Structure 1
């Protein structure tokens, strides 16, 4: 139980608002505090591994939400938490910032000695993209968790992307250079105003460099066919070979960009449909978990609440139910059948 005295000891004065999730078993509790002169609380949502406050930034009357997360350890439990956070985002319907210990990496470099991403990390990275979140940089350190020689970056802050961008843009060598030049020309404007001002130049750049992907791919394929016709007619030298390799390489790049583009579009449509049905899916998932959970079980006439004993009893029951019985050996005597 967290008291005002505990919060004052941590905050240093009586100016903090707070909400908390109590400790349950081996799971650590959550405590989220904020400056009441800057943030006014409207709603609070709580889960077993997360705590969310929804309210208004007082200075500019900006509606937003903050969610503190304490990630699960096994993959299946992580998937449940990420599903709940997706529902939460649709429930709040305001810019939502996720922060805390997610107990997962998103890059190989974020775990010392790692050479590949585990399946749960790939799924977490996909969830970040589906939610259109930005993983904010950690400038002062590489890792956030240490135990002996083991080091990982599992603590992070995930915020809404400041403006909608297409993932395929980042495959173009001129994209970041264009963005830097445009931001430089905007001078000393506020960041959000700069991002709004980028909308028009981004649209122009997109039409110039990414307009009609299919036509671009068809043009490259047509040029490749022309080179192949020359080779068929006996025209073949080092220049022809180099040109064909360059055309094939460029065509592959545009195929990849097209795949990235449509994959992102499909995710966006799925996310919109999910947001429309957020309350329905949230209630459905909650009801399913309640229905599937066994809180108590009567064993040999005695009601048992201990989860470990319940698991053992269920396992033994089905083990006995489905075990293979030994069949008697049956033989036939001679001349038994005539």
Structure 2
């Protein structure tokens, strides 16, 4: 994914009737790499300068990846950052560039708070709603909308976990020396949260609902112990007379590498 600074169709650049010579090279490169371009679902162009518009940003994926993630959709992000910069710099005139950067401190702080502020509270809120639904189902209260609501809460919770993870990864790039301990604790907490999500709180065993964690562990252990236990069978050795020893020629024949014709016939 990135800015390839190239188009492959005339429709991808406003006011263009012909493709540049480099477009053919870009097409051939994509073909040789075995990748395809994901379509954008909500906008036509990704780059703007005055009246000029182009789609030079692309996401290239292999066919194997598309088969595994067939429901993937791509959409263009808002162009709000440049608009915010222009609004903040409009009255600064010929001020020094460092002063212009300082002027962005407050609006960037507000943007950061709106997009990444109180992430823990939002995640906790969704987790509490999920737990409420699970408790209601456990108490025998269930209707058709509960599963839909639970899926919606889980989806929102997962999105905030991803946003939080990306946020801290980005912070670690810019301030890794200062916040390395904080990042380590975060990823440890993230792993613990995933462990909690994967925890089995209840198990139906022979028609009986079990919630005790110790009993659940014993039941799971016994299940797999019975599933993979070793069957009892009489031991038999080669010296019992049931198996004849092959001759030396046959033994050597078993170690001979197969030739090409034998491989073709087997295939």
TM over 0.5: no
- Higher radius of gyration, 1 or 2: 2
**TM-score (norm. length: structure 2):** 0.34
